[in-house]
Amino acid sequence: MAAADNHKADPNRTLELLWGAQQQPTRGPKPALSLQQIVEAGIKVADAEGVAAVSMRRVADELGFTTMSLYRYVPSKTDLLELMVENAGFIADMPEGLTGWREKLRWWANDTAGLYRRRRWALDVPLNAPPMGPNQIKRMEQALAALDDTGLSGGEMLGILVLLSGYVRGHAQLASTLADVEARTGTSQAAWDEAYGRMLAEFVDPALYPTLARVVAEGGFEGYDDAVGDDLLGDDFAFGLDLVLDGIGRYIERRAGAPSPE
């Protein structure tokens, strides 16, 4: 029982691992492994086979060490996954030439979506808490800084960050799921698209679904399957992002015209 307890997730321990704040041994032989080696091996497995293939045993095998030896550096699989997401990609600085909150948030959304496109497995790692690692905090700071001159309160800025993050992650999840349909079902995405087209043509009765039938008749679905395929940054992503930014802009305008709270 004690050994199992040692492998439980500990939020404070995870926090220290993410920020490199854990105590290092001052005596004994030089460690044969490093935390970074373990994290990179986990990312290698996830890149090749998805996050479901990542286990402490599998990572240990990749490195040529025993599973128990990894627990000296990463006490739980939860810690490993958190560290993998934290190190999933380089967080670029926001370009200096960007002006205004809208342009900055557009860059932020596209940069975040680009990370999901390169490391789709990160979408399959459960969210145990808000961002806690330095790279994720840098990304949070970038989005909040983009809104810093809007006159919004801190709580409002955080609410916008959650909204925008949810849009980007949700779209990335949809695109990733559709891109993996053949591996998941053994049938190509084109075949699923064809079946969906048949459903629209044969089973959408205008008497029962008049609005949907009109959209179909007007060609509203033409090209839509291409927009939500493997290209995460396609036209539909840009369209949805514009809608989100328009809503944020309208809210900022409304708040600017509102009287100051007493």
Integer Cα distance of 254 and 248 in angstroms: 10
| Torsion angle defined by CA atoms of residues 256, 141, 132 and 52, in that order, rounded to the nearest 10 degrees | 100
CA separation, residue 223 to residues 123, 197, 198, 238 (Å): 25, 11, 15, 15
Q: Return the closest-CA partner of residue 125 out of 134, 114, 116.
A: 116
**pLDDT on residue 31:** 72
User: In degrees rounded to 5, what are phi and psi of residue 122?
Assistant: -60, -25
pLDDT recorded at residue 262: 33
Which domains occur in the chain, in start order? Answer: 2-86 (1.10.10.60), 100-257 (1.10.357.10)
pLDDT averaged per 10 residues in sequence order, the chain, 262 residues:
55 94 62 91 97 96 95 94 95 94 97 94 92 95 97 97 97 89 91 93 96 95 60 80 97 79 37
**CA distance linking residue 22 with residue 24, whole number of Å:** 6
The structure's pTM equals 0.87
Whether residue 140 contacts residue 131, with contact meaning beta carbons closer than 8 Å, is answered with yes
Check: CB of residue 115 under 8 Å from CB of residue 88.
yes
Q: Which amino acid is at 46?
A: A
Q: Looking at residue 120, what DSSP letter applies?
A: G
